């Protein structure tokens, strides 16, 4: 059975990163953008990371420019923005597409594993979140409007499972 741990992506510096390195951890995979109305969620994501990281929790941020061209910068600019503006220290990855024919295979898998409303596999906007269990068997989707802090009980349940 395929899980998120079977994929390799490019980190923010363009280096391949096997998601198998995160096996045994609860993951929150988020498509992010620097010029979005939801961009302030970076602060809430970092707060979750600070709170649960030592217990086996990782956030994986994937910049995406498919929604209103709200992530126009280079990977270097995105990394600098996240570090400077929100003190982000969770892993960031290279900009990718989440929808369409060029969608990254990881996102194709996530969307199929946890479809949205009415079974839609499209990502509707930036800051769509996928919570993945330690063994990769369970993937839960959350809308961009779901605030990071509202995921705390779900994260705790997966960490304690």
DSSP string for residues in 31-100 = EE-TTSTTTTHHHHHHHHHHHHGGGTEEEEEEE---STT---S-HHHHHHHHHHHH---S-BB-----SS
Boundaries of domain holding 59: 4-159
Tell me the average pLDDT across 65-91.
94
Query: What's this model's pTM, rounded to 2 decimal places?
Result: 0.95
When the pLDDT of each residue in the chain is averaged and rounded to a whole number, the result is 95
Q: Which is higher by pLDDT, 138 or 1?
A: 138
CATH of the domain at 72: 3.40.30.10
Query: Hey, which residues are catalytic here?
Result: 36
Confidence of residue 99 (pLDDT cuts 50, 70, 90): very high
Domain count, the chain: 1
The dihedral through the CA atoms of 81, 155, 18, 38 has a sign that is negative
Confidence of residue 30 (pLDDT cuts 50, 70, 90): very high
Size of the chain in residues? 161
**What φ, ψ does residue 42 adopt, rounded to 5°?**
-55, -40
pLDDT at res. 8: 97
């Amino acid at each position: 059975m395929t899980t998120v741990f079977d994929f390799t992506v490019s980190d923010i510096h363009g280096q391949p990163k096997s998601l198998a390195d995160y096996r045994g951890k609860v993951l929150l995979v988020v498509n992010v953008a620097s010029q979005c109305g939801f961009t302030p969620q970076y602060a809430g994501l970092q707060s979750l990371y600070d709170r649960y990281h030592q217990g086996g929790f990782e956030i994986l941020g994937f910049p995406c420019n498919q929604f209103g061209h709200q992530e126009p910068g280079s990977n270097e600019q995105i990394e600098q923005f996240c570090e400077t503006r929100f003190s982000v220290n969770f892993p960031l990855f290279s900009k990718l597409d989440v929808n369409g024919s060029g969608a990254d295979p990881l996102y194709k898998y996530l969307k199929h594993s946890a479809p949205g409303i009415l079974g839609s596999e499209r990502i509707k906007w930036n800051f769509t979140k996928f919570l993945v269990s330690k063994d990769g068997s369970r993937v839960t989707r959350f809308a961009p409007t779901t605030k990071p802090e509202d995921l705390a009980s779900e994260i705790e349940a997966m960490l304690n499972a």
